[in-house]
Amino acid sequence: MSELQQLSQSNIFRDLPSGLLDALLEKGERRTLIDGDFLFRTEQDYTGEIYIVLDGEIVIQRTNGQSYGVGAGDFVGLSSFLDHAPYSSTASSHGRVELLVLPEPLFHKVKKRFPELSTAVNRSIADRIRRWNPGRRGTTGVLIQPVRSFMTVPFAACTGETSLESALNIMRSRKIGSLGVTDDDGRLLGIATPGMIAEAIGLRGADVGQALHECVIDQAFTIGPEDQLWEAEQMQQDYGVKHLVVVDDGLPVGMVSQTDIVRALCMQAQRNILIGRASEAVDLDGLKSLFSRLDECASGALEYNRWATNALRILSETHLAIMRRCVELTIEALLREGLNKPPVRFALLIMGSGGRKEMMLEPDQD
């Protein structure tokens, strides 16, 4: 089997553009290890390289005594590559091993041309998470569905020549929190958000007429349309980002945000628990009955969520749905008593844990 076939059939590089794999194989250096050779050792300084196994197996020995093998088509040295810290484990060859060596500048050069390289890194990270968290609560329900089912489409984008003012107006008119930036061929260059634009203007003195590529574009983290929703959630947690660009066959096709994931989880909860029933309550006794079953909501939220913060948000959304219906029923009761409708549009402001969406089973809302 050729090196190209070996990579393209691996779990990490599957379905990625052949041009990406060709570029890696063309630019990367080959290195051969014989049985027992060390690639790096624990506490050794980062070498400035990342490695891809082309053939054979690398054994990773952790300081706690645990070990695992890395086979063809996967990265070695990923953790230190990401944070530039000394190696936290020892890597040695099991038999003869053929490696593809990518110096960090080369890796970033290839990734700039093929953003899908980030997808391969993310898949490798996800595999490690699954390997070293066997006792973690299993991922079920909506989180095992493909990203394509929940991404926002069409992909909202503009070119790097778009002005800051125009980009902001696009986001405002479409009511979106991020905007993809692409080149003339539609390939992804990065991402822009209102916060980035505000920082460029307010802190760095950028002019509203300046082009995005001059002062705003930030790295976009990507994910594939067939990757599962929990992987998107994990990436957002790992990288501290709110938006992921969904890339298919080298081109951006959609966006998945933290809001999309929370909305999907809320839809799951709505189908199974109480949120949907609150809007159907016909009187305050009905709402009281729903309130008494909040423990069911909490159990369901924990069952379908890997992160306690998301489970807490779903519980809070249930509280808010009950409160919202309570206000509606109160207004209906006042109208039945002969009072007029509210003379103006109004909003109910909730402070404290309710405003932060951190309400638990017995919130102390006034």
Q: What are the residue ranges spanned by the domains of the chain? A: 3-132, 141-241, 273-355
Q: Do the strands 29-33 and 89-103 form a parallel or antiparallel pair, or are they unpaired?
A: antiparallel
Query: Which residue matches tokens 């053939």?
Result: 55
The whole-number pLDDT of residue 138 equals 46
Angle at 248 between CA 246 and CA 249, to 5 degrees: 150
The whole-number pLDDT of residue 134 equals 43
Task: Count how many Cα atoms sit within 13 Å of the Cα of residue 327 in the half-sphere of its side chain.
Answer: 12
The whole-number pLDDT of residue 301 equals 60
Q: Could you tell me which of 125, 36, 38 has the C-alpha nearest to residue 75?
A: 125
The whole-number pLDDT of residue 65 equals 74
Strand order through the sheet with 157-159: 157-159, 179-182, 188-192
Considering only the C-alpha atoms of the chain, give the largest distance between any 2 of them, rounded to a whole number of Å: 89
The whole-number pLDDT of residue 135 equals 40
Cβ atoms of 92 and 47 within 8 Å: the answer is no
Tokens of 138: 């299993």
Tokens of 273: 């628990």
Task: For domain 141-241, give the CATH number.
Answer: 3.10.580.10
Query: Which residue matches tokens 């500048």?
Result: 105
CA 108 to CA 2: how far, in whole Å? 25
The whole-number pLDDT of residue 243 equals 85
Cβ atoms of 216 and 192 within 8 Å: the answer is yes
The whole-number pLDDT of residue 102 equals 94
The residue type of 351 is M
- Sign (positive/negative) of CA torsion 317, 318, 324, 328? positive
CA 162 to CA 260: how far, in whole Å? 26
| CATH fold for domain 3-132 | Jelly Rolls (2.60.120)
Q: Do the strands 75-76 and 67-70 form a parallel or antiparallel pair, or are they unpaired?
A: unpaired
CA 221 to CA 115: how far, in whole Å? 8
Query: Which residue matches tokens 């066959």?
Result: 249
Tokens of 255: 């966006």
The whole-number pLDDT of residue 183 equals 87
pTM above 0.85, yes or no: no
Q: How many residues does the chain have?
A: 366
The whole-number pLDDT of residue 237 equals 75
Under-50 pLDDT residues of the chain = 133-138, 270-272
The residue type of 204 is R
The whole-number pLDDT of residue 236 equals 81
Cβ atoms of 301 and 262 within 8 Å: the answer is no
The whole-number pLDDT of residue 50 equals 93
Please report how the helices 229-239 and 117-132 are oriented relative to each other, as an axis angle in degrees rounded to 10.
Answer: 100
